[in-house]
Structure 1
Amino acid sequence: MVRVLTLVDAFRLGGAETLIAQLGRVAGTAGFEMDVLSLSPPSEEHSKLEPLLRESGLTPRYLGVRRTLDPRAPRLLANAIKESGADVVHAHLEMAMTLAVPAAKMAGRNAICTWHHVHRALPGRAAWREKLALEVSSRAYRTIFVSEASRKSFADKYRPGKPLPKNWVVVHNGVDLAHFSPGPALMPPEFGVTGRPVVTVLAAQRDFKGITHAVDAWPKVRAARPEARMLLVGSGDEHENLRCQVAEAGLQDDIIFTGARSDVVDILRASDVVLLPSTYGENLPTVLIEAAGCARPVVASRIGGIPDIVEDGVTGLLTPPGDPSAIADALISLLDDPSRRAAMGVTARSHVEQHFDAVNWARQLKSLYEEASVVGVPA
């Protein structure tokens, strides 16, 4: 059985990172063994994924590297790869990809790299880090993009008018649909929303997630459905700005900040609508697949790979990015129509079973792992 060392920048509670926990649940079924390693040392922020990893049967380990240009990093990582007994290394996120390819080569292994976002304009050092990561990851055995929108965005930016590298492939992520499934609606009681209609935004609180537009939309929703509440589940560098925005709008009783949570299945099952109001940068958002797995309808922005998941008017509603009025209208229309919500949820579940099941995703990855484990490492 092929053994894989899965490498990430840190064990944060982000979309790409939580996918690794889901992959761990189905790895054995798909026919491969999986270890997980964080480049960053443990910390409160960089260890939040640990409970989910352990629930998936994985043992989190840390390398203790804080920056990409740490001169010790390639050798430390190469030694960790050898000690793990891995046949192949699978790196997720920029720092991990940049270090994994040379370190895997030093260890006599092939590397596979996955990009989880679409390209967007970046300033200064961030742009340099992305360019470096793409250049390095393109020398891996395979460079995976999780949607065609993602692959095209990087091709348009970095290889305009040139043929795509042969190792650039598209493999859709999947979700463990045995875990993210319809079930009892058990909203945590500490939120104080029992018996009320609930809209949930489950997302990192960063600028591109567009949560500020969800807050701007809420007064219109409240005017139509004053009993409704919105949950903001997650954390991030926009947290304090969002709190100020909510306070200035007088919405403290309507919008509940829950912080990062590990009980997202319960929250999704108990939500009436799941909202993702992103303005740019979205690729194939895991939360929308998870919501569909739990048979929940969604309202989301029509950007990136989101239309691959959400069929407008069938499994949810798509709105223009950055349009609070359109967001409010979509939420109100679903909150006012329970039978439509239920029908959308059933159809959404069927759609992700066909296209985004984690076992199918894992089997596709297994084929790549097996190929990479028997092909020689380029000199």
Structure 2
Amino acid sequence: MRIYVCEYSGHPFQVQLSRELARRGNRVVHAYFSDFQTPKGSLQLGPGDPPTLEITPLSLGKPFSKYGLVKRRFQEIRVGRLIAQRIGEFEPDIVIGCNLPIDALDAVVTLCDRQRRPFVFWQQDIYSKAIGDLLGERLGMAGRLIGRYYQMLERKAAARSSAIVVIADDFRHTLEAEFGVDGRRIHTVENWAPLDEISPRPKSNDWSRRHGLDDCDVVLYTGTIGLKHDPALILEVAKSIALRPHTRMVVTSEGRHADWLAQQAAELPGAPLLVLPFQDFKSYSDVLGSADVLIAILESDAGTFSVPSKVLSYLCSGRSIVLSAPPANLASRTIQRANAGYAVPVGDVAGFVGAINTLLDDPDRRTAFGANGRTYAERSFDIGKIADRFDAIIGSVRADQRRDARHGRVDLPALSPR
């Protein structure tokens, strides 16, 4: 089978799925938008990769306007058209779309609908809700109207999708009640992290020694600091640990909020805060291994839907975790389920800082939480079982096509040779 996976961000676990699907004899193209500023996964073909896998970076040939809303929208439309063009050239039997901005998603789904190619909507968030909330806050009624437009586009994409894969059952009510999606087309597959690529490392490793972090306590934040994250909370942590000897707050990130933290770091006495750019994925296990406590944050309006993939990577690393997030959020529930650290409600700054200091003072508890997290990851992140779920979803889509063809509702394309 020919499968086209368009995963906008280039994150680690989605490309792991593409590798596994290709190992099963499918011809897989994994496409990602290389201009988007975010941590990337293992996106280079290696000697162990199957010959049926192709990993394709897509670029507009110019810097991506992450913070300019109007320019960003037009760039995302162009990305969607570029993906649609590549889909048309590859002629896949099925398309899987993940992390696509809504304007890009609309272009891809429209192409698939026109060419009668089944599209699997791998939905990581209800993006139209996030857009409506953000623009409503910034622009008032005009922003809310724009949000309704994007809700219409996202609802249309869901209606045109052959199947929808959601990362939590929490999505089901919105999709069924507000988007009108038949629940039989909704499949839940929780996100994961690539166990074979993120493993526990000793604290003293090449990366930690290079940055002078092998002989001090480290509180670490890795990854994007976006609209759903409060960088001021990271700064509060840095101020708190400045009172501790031989302790540093380390951030590996890029963008506007990371730049702000770097400016603040220069003004803190004792240099407790170190801000570094995104690190190469090949070093990611060592980066996480340098930490004594890993932290993640979500704002209150993240609700139940947004799940930072960094939390799942943290579980693989065998390090303790402290998360600031809404209690109903899946990331909070996952940390509690794994008994891998503390999930602190949003707004409880003292509780968040206190949980970090509690773990810094208790190495045995840190070790126990870290071991629990790794055990949870080993039990839950089996790529073979996860790929089995996607195989079943793809099979159900093909079965639906055959049934519709028998009833004259759709022309079933011939299955392409592998």
RMSD: 3.1
CA distance in 2, matches of 1:179, 1:322: 34
2:184 equivalent to 1:178: no
Quote the residue 1:200 is aligned against.
220
Quote the residue 1:314 is aligned against.
339
CA distance in 2, matches of 1:101, 1:19: 23
One-letter amino acid of the structure 2 residue matched with residue 62 of structure 1: L
CA distance in 1, matches of 2:306, 2:45: 27
- Change in Cα spacing, 1:151 to 1:243, as seen in structure 2 (3 Å) is farther
For residues 40-64 of structure 1, the C-alpha deviation after alignment (integer angstroms, 9 at most, x for no partner) is 5x54x46973863445844224275
Of residues 27-36 and 326-335 in structure 1, the stretch that sits farther from structure 2 once superposed is 27-36
Quote the residue 1:351 is aligned against.
376
Q: In structure 1, which of residues 105, 121, 142 is the aligned counterpart of residue 113 of structure 2?
A: 105
Q: In structure 2, which of residues 13, 28, 38 is the aligned counterpart of residue 19 of structure 1?
A: 13
2:159 equivalent to 1:138: yes
Tell me how far 1:267 sits from its aligned partner: 0.8
CA distance in 2, matches of 1:51, 1:206: 22
Quote the residue 1:14 is aligned against.
none
Quote the residue 1:59 is aligned against.
55
CA distance in 2, matches of 1:310, 1:175: 14
Of residues 270-279 and 280-289 in structure 1, the stretch that sits farther from structure 2 once superposed is 280-289
Tell me how far 1:327 sits from its aligned partner: 1.4
- Change in Cα spacing, 1:37 to 1:175, as seen in structure 2 (3 Å) is same
Residue 220 of structure 2 aligns to a residue whose secondary structure is: strand
Q: In structure 1, which of residues 270, 290, 297 is the aligned counterpart of residue 320 of structure 2?
A: 297
One-letter amino acid of the structure 1 residue matched with residue 5 of structure 2: T
One-letter amino acid of the structure 2 residue matched with residue 171 of structure 1: V
Residue 43 of structure 2 aligns to a residue whose secondary structure is: helix
**Structure ranking higher on relative contact order (CA contacts 8 Å, 6+ apart):** 1
2:257 equivalent to 1:238: yes
Tell me how far 1:374 sits from its aligned partner: 4.9
- Change in Cα spacing, 1:61 to 1:315, as seen in structure 2 (3 Å) is closer
CA contact (8 A) 1:5 1:90 kept: yes
Quote the residue 2:150 is aligned against.
129
For residues 301-357 of structure 1, the C-alpha deviation after alignment (integer angstroms, 9 at most, x for no partner) is 242211332017921101111332111111111111111111111111122222333
**Consecutive aligned runs of 4 or more in structure 1 exceeding 6 Å deviation:** none
Quote the residue 1:87 is aligned against.
93
For structure 1, the 5+ residue unaligned runs are 12-16
Q: Percent identical across equivalent pairs?
A: 18
Tell me how far 1:184 sits from its aligned partner: 3.6
Quote the residue 2:31 is aligned against.
37
Residue 311 of structure 1 aligns to a residue whose secondary structure is: helix
For structure 2, the 5+ residue unaligned runs are 62-73, 136-142, 411-418
CA distance in 2, matches of 1:350, 1:319: 22
CA distance in 1, matches of 2:15, 2:269: 35
CA contact (8 A) 1:297 1:348 kept: yes
> Which protein is richer in helix relative to its size?
2
For residues 166-195 of structure 1, the C-alpha deviation after alignment (integer angstroms, 9 at most, x for no partner) is 423321122221222223442343422121
- Change in Cα spacing, 1:51 to 1:348, as seen in structure 2 (3 Å) is closer
Number of aligned pairs? 363
Q: TM-score, normalised by structure 2?
A: 0.76
Tell me how far 1:152 sits from its aligned partner: 4.3
CA distance in 2, matches of 1:183, 1:254: 23
Q: TM-score, normalised by structure 1?
A: 0.83
Quote the residue 1:341 is aligned against.
366
Tell me how far 1:79 sits from its aligned partner: 4.7
- Change in Cα spacing, 1:141 to 1:163, as seen in structure 2 (3 Å) is closer
CA distance in 2, matches of 1:331, 1:30: 43
